[in-house]
Amino acid sequence: MPVRTAFAAQIEHLQILDEHGKLDERLAQGTLTDEQVVFAYERMIDYRKLDEIAFTLQRSGRMYTYPQNKGQEAAALGSGLAMRKGVDFLVPCYRENAALFLHGLPPECIFLHWMGDERGNAIPSGVNVTPIAIPIGTQMLHAVGLAWAYKLRKEDRCVITYFGDGATSEGDFHEAMNFATTFNVPCVFFCQNNQWAISVPREQQTASETVAQKAIAYGARGIQVDGNDLFAVYKATTEARDRARAGGGITLIEAITYRLGDHTTADDARRYRDTAEVESWAAKDPMIRTRKYLESKGLWDEQKQAAAEEHGKAFAQDIVRKSEGIAKPEVREMFDHLYAEIPDELRRQRDTLRTHSLGLYPEQSGLAVSGRRGS
């Protein structure tokens, strides 16, 4: 029998705003307004300042560790702007601060988390985000479960889950993709490919030429975008969101970006990254190209930049005050967010602050003595 092609596919790469701030007007139609771009750039400044002050806090012993978001703001902002606040759900990793804040998460929650205060994981009611996930890849399974619930309830809602390139080598990624596509749930998979899985470069932890092509094996759509391009990220995420909502299938978005800082403040990337590589990516910083674009349209100048920088400093300092000024937690509070309705056994532990039998049931204190007397 003749040999025939059983399947063929290709992965598109989308860029709308290049590193010089030049916009492809045709591709940009129907994406972001000038007001939205100004808003997004102002948020980039705020959140970069927040990153800088978090680094200082860790170095001065006021925070345990912190993973900087520096250089990846456009990926988080563009995708966050595409999702509907109060309707859709965000299931993050730990470099999506900008998207989380857009959707209502108080920034001090992130600081409290990295300061070791569990109250940072107590998401306020009405804020549709899950706590940040430190184990690599596990959050994707949660996202698919949320999306499946929306489908079963026939709710017009969508879930987006974020992860890094290294997470696509984890089994949880493959299980989540397989379940999501088999049951066709309204979910968007968003990979921030920042080129490094801690100290392992992308080409050493997967043989795939792109992350996006991993979608093909599951019958999903895969697209690669310039992750430092606010417009491309917004466009790809909006299309993926609408496709998922309409029952058209899952999309895996690979946002090509770069981690300009260390993996966390416990890391020293100089030990494994070439300085020239970092410098080349620093020139592609999403903040630089976004500012160039705004300046080319007469929407930004030095005076606005100075004002935005001052606002960013004040914003970051206010978050520090809120984080460090919070009252110390009581020991009992460790039980408060485990269950919607606390089981009796845990309630007794909370009320007595004991786990042993005598501590939980102090009324038994005389049994041992009376037992010896009767022997």
E-state strands within 174-332? 187-193, 196-197, 200-201, 221-226, 251-256
Q: In one letter, which amino acid is 5?
A: T
SS3 at position 127: coil
Q: Is 272 a catalytic residue?
A: yes
Candidate list 95, 263, 289, 291, residue with the active-site label: 263
SS3 at position 62: coil
Backbone phi, then psi, for 240, in 5-degree steps? -65, -40
Q: In one letter, which amino acid is 226?
A: D
**What is the distance between the alpha carbons of residues 14 and 128, in angstroms, rounded to a whole number?**
28
**What is the distance between the alpha carbons of residues 223 and 215, in angstroms, rounded to a whole number?**
9
**What is the distance between the alpha carbons of residues 171 and 349, in angstroms, rounded to a whole number?**
36
Instruction: Specify the DSSP class assigned to residue 126.
Output: T
Candidate list 20, 272, 332, 347, residue with the active-site label: 272
Candidate list 43, 113, 259, 291, residue with the active-site label: 259
**What is the distance between the alpha carbons of residues 103 and 88, in angstroms, rounded to a whole number?**
9
Q: Is 361 a catalytic residue?
A: no
**What is the distance between the alpha carbons of residues 141 and 134, in angstroms, rounded to a whole number?**
14
Q: Is 20 a catalytic residue?
A: no
Q: What is the largest CA-CA distance in the chain?
A: 94
Closest CA to 187 of 165, 162, 167: 162
Query: Is the C-alpha dihedral spanning 173, 174, 175, 180 positive or negative?
Result: positive
Instruction: Give the HSE-up count for residue 26: Cα atoms under 13 Å, Cβ half-sphere.
Output: 1
Q: Which residues are catalytic?
A: 259, 263, 272
